[in-house]
Structure 1
Amino acid sequence: MQDDGFTERNRREIIAIATTHFADKGFAGARVDEIAAATATSKRMIYYHFGSKEALYRAVLTEAYRGIRSAELDAGLEDMPALDALARLTALTFDYHFEHPELVRLVMDENMRHAPHVGDVVEAQNEMVLPSTRALIDRGVAEGTFRTGLDPVDLHMTISALAFYFVSNRYTFANVFKVDTTSPAAAARRREQVVATVLAYCRAG
């Protein structure tokens, strides 16, 4: 293949800009020509290296999920007592969603379209989520700090939902209830509540 000067830096730039466009406009509303115009490359080059708009979107989804999974892996949860690890995982998940609202918008759009891409795209990123959650539960039960009967899917869903909702509904809550949902102070206050809720759900006794 002829060297056309396309680099990994070009690829990262395109994915970053495409992430913004897909998150803001959804898959249907985002346009490759507008994405190309915001980059240092061209529409032709995007199609040449990614193949299609759908393939570019899949690359965006892959990177979005890779980000949160990498943050979880880097947290060192295996070296903590289970209750501390659960608190750390919950806070980390909350913070990641708050700091990356584009992930929330991408997932919302994917759900509105009945998730046509997310299953096969993020399978590799998510394959360790349930086993690691199960291992955390088992460790907590063995340490006597977690109650028995916890399900890893339920726990993962609970943590994700509490983190997701604070971002997905920030504008409706702000308008309806006149509350601040976007400042670091508001996020810190809500994070503390979310962590306490998850710990209470899992704690033994």
Structure 2
Amino acid sequence: MTDMRSPRRKAPPSQDQASPDKAPPRRRNPVETRRALLDASIAEFAENGLAGARVDAIARRAGVNKQLVYHYYGSKDELFTASLEEVYRHIRTQERELELHALEPVAAMERLVGFSFDYLAEHPEFITLLNDENRMRSAHLKDSRELVDMHSPLVEVIATILERGVQQGVFNERFGPVNLYISIASLSYFFFSNNSTLSAIFNRDMSTPAEVARRRQHVIDLVLHALCSNYQPTG
């Protein structure tokens, strides 16, 4: 005789037995999301500039939904401003860790100039973002109070080094901290921002380790010889 009993039904899986294919999505930490978006946007803007960068591409790089970009940053322009603030924040943080106050004036200035050169060598994205912002006549920098405030501590550090050097008789009094900062930055910046054209003009690869090391020492020597007539490297 045919068994008319209803087939036994399987009990629903408990939470501990839930299929891995249907695991609940992990909730993103807002701090992690912002960090991922900043990293992704810096990379995207460095490669394509503000005009060529795409919000979809930034979201894809960050591994988030496109709507989260607008949720956290409002617009592509606001994200570009945040990216500029972030690259400046990073270099200022690194500068504070140099502990220049603990060094004698000549050694402190050597370390600062060498660091400024090395940072640009290691962070080409800093140069490309700044080049893009300069083409836009600092439209984003002008609206960022944070970026303006970031430079004040560095100028104060340079002023203190200069003052100590003058008091000790190793530096002359011809240079103010702002102009000295501009000179230090530009001597290194031009070499990296124009490396390709310099290589073509002088018919040699200016990006080789030997050329980079030669330029680095030249920049240090140039700044320190301008500050003190009897400069002798401390390293």
TM-score normalised to structure 1 length = 0.92
Q: Which residue of 2 aligns with 1:193?
A: 218
Select the structure of larger CA radius of gyration: 2
Query: Aligned residue for 1:49?
Result: 72
User: Residues 145-191 of structure 1: CA distance to partner in whole angstroms, max 9, x if unpaired?
Assistant: 10012111110010000110111001111222222222333222211
Q: Distance in 1 between the 2:62 and 2:90 partners?
A: 22
Q: Residue 107 of structure 1 corresponds to which residue in structure 2?
A: 130
For this pair of structures, how many residues does the alignment match?
203
User: How many angstroms does 1:51 deviate by?
Assistant: 1.4
Correspondence for 2:153 among 128, 138, 145: 128
Measure, in 2, the Cα distance between the counterparts of 1:156 and 1:133.
8
Any gaps of 5 or more consecutive residues in structure 2?
Answer: 1-25, 231-235
Contact 2:141 2:147 (C-alpha < 8 Å) held by counterparts: yes
**In structure 2, which of residues 42, 58, 77 is the aligned counterpart of residue 35 of structure 1?**
58
Counting helix residues as a fraction of each chain, which structure ranks higher? 1
Residues 6 and 50 from structure 1, CA distance in 2 versus in 1: closer, same or farther, beyond 3 angstroms? farther
Match of 2:171 among 141, 146, 150: 146
**Unmatched tracts of structure 1, length 5 or more:** none
Q: Does 1:159 align with 2:181?
A: no
Whether 1:77 and 2:100 are equivalent positions in the alignment is yes
Cα root mean square deviation, aligned = 1.7
Using the TM superposition, give the Cα deviation of residue 97 of structure 1 relative to its aligned residue in structure 2, in angstroms.
0.7
- Shift in Å at residue 9 of structure 1? 2.3
Tell me, yes or no, if the aligned pair for 2:39 and 2:62 is still in contact at 8 Å.
Answer: no
Give the secondary-structure state (helix, strand or coil) at the position aligned to 1:128: helix
Which moves more between the two structures, 137-146 or 173-182? Answer: 173-182
Amino acid at match of 1:177: F
Task: Choose between structure 1 and 2 for higher RCO, CA contacts under 8 A separated by at least 6 residues.
Answer: 1
Q: Which amino acid aligns with 1:182?
A: S
Task: Report the secondary structure of 1:171's partner residue.
Answer: helix
TM-score by length of 2: 0.81
Instruction: Please report how far the alpha carbon of residue 123 of structure 1 lies from its aligned counterpart in structure 2 after TM superposition.
Output: 1.7
